[in-house]
Amino acid sequence: MALPLDGLAAVVTGAGRGLGRVEALELARLGAAVVVNDFGRPGRDGSGEASAAPAQQTAAEITAAGGRAVAHIGDVADHEQARELVELAISSYGKLDILVNNAGILRDRMVFSMTEDEWDSVIRVHLKGHFNTTHFAAAHWRARAKASGGPVHGRIVNTSSEAFLAGSAGQPNYAAAKGGIVGLTTSTALALAKYGVTANAICPRARTRMTEDVFAGFAEPDDGQLDPLAPEHVAPLVGYLASPAAAGVNGQLLVVHGGMVAIAERPRIAAQFNSAKDTFSYAELDGLLTPYYAERPPNETFAAAEVLGLKRG
């Protein structure tokens, strides 16, 4: 019996550890050949012996289980290295079918304390990194579709965050980058749909090395049960979105963790006010908007903080 991703080739960024590693393992388990990307370089183990880079370790784990994988050690936020990553998939497997953008960093600080470098580095890795790989993958799929005269199998799974939905106060750089990724995703979804390509974004909640401080207050189970914050809860959704079965899922935002998937609804217009004349005056806006907001719940903003309370029912 064929596996859902048999014959397909995938790239997973930031896959040396944490969520990306588990996603790469899941895609391989479902039949995909995987290019495992991570920025981490080879190091030394406790005995001083040379150790493999994280990407190489994940690739070795896949091949040891009978799958196909190659490692790419590089920075996806560098335009040229992102091009090399996509080209490695094409040269190794003849094509690219699936792109999972996961690479990221955290530099948490309140907006009044954040440095320029803390802002720039997070925007660079998350948002520019997503764009770089998407750019080269999209060009590949467009060329394939034109050459074949029909749609191709192309899947993009981008990684946003509940920090964007809820407006995380201590993460203005991260929330902004993750919001930008949603905009990139919906734009890409519309641009590439005619070529058979889908683009979706997930908001995963997972305990990883990057988020260990964020979830430090969430106790891990001690009874042998799977941690509700384990990355293994997220990977199956990525595998599904990468598959032919998800051809009808495009431009969507899904929250996933702890045995739960929630589909975020697009923004709706809550109210509309029209000017009495050609344009508004200050007094007219004051008369319309001030009483409207006076009746709204206090401290309610565009952020959807209730998403943080989602859990498996």
Strand locations in the chain (E)? 9-12, 33-38, 43-44, 50-51, 69-73, 98-101, 154-159, 197-204, 253-257, 260-263
State pTM to two decimals.
0.91
Check residue 109 and give its pLDDT. Answer: 97
Whether 91 sits among the annotated catalytic residues: the reply is no
pLDDT of 226: 65
Which residue out of 160, 174, 195, 243 is catalytically annotated? 174
Q: What is the pLDDT of residue 215?
A: 45
- The answer to whether the CB of 12 falls within 8 A of the CB of 18 is no
What is the amino acid identity at position 276?
A
Asked if residues 238 and 23 have their Cβ atoms less than 8 Å apart, the reply is yes
> Can you give 204-257 as a three-state secondary structure string?
ECCCCCCCCCCCCCCCCCCCCCCCCCCHHHCHHHHHHHCCHHHCCCCCCEEEEE
Average pLDDT over residues 164-172: 94
pLDDT for 208 equals: 53
The pLDDT, as a whole number, for residue 270 is 94
For residues 209-233, give the mean pLDDT.
63
77 touches 128 (CB < 8 A): yes
pLDDT in tens, 199-211: 999 999 976 555 4
Instruction: Please report how many Cα atoms fall inside a 13 Å half-sphere around the Cα of residue 173, on the Cβ side.
Output: 24
Catalytic residue, chosen from 93, 128, 160, 178, is: 178
**Cβ-based neighbours of 27, under 8 Å, separated by 6 or more:** 5, 10, 12, 34, 98, 100, 238, 239, 242
Q: Distance between CA 262 and CA 256 in Å, rounded?
A: 6
> Is 240 tagged catalytic?
no
Mean pLDDT over 57-62 rounds to 98
According to DSSP, the β-strands at 253-257 and 260-263 are antiparallel
More confident site: 51 or 177 = 177
Range 207-225 average pLDDT:
55
Query: Is the pLDDT confidence value at 100 over 50?
Result: yes
Catalytic residue among 93, 160, 161, 243: 161
Residue 236 near residue 254, CB atoms below 8 Å: no
Q: Is the pLDDT of residue 165 over 60?
A: yes
Tell me the mean pLDDT in the region 66-70: 98
**Is the pLDDT assigned to residue 35 strictly greater than 80?**
yes
Q: For residue 293, indicate whether it is catalytic.
A: no
Provide the token pair at 229. Answer: 């914050």
Residue 73 · residue 40 · CB < 8 Å: yes
Distance CA 200, CA 196 (A): 13
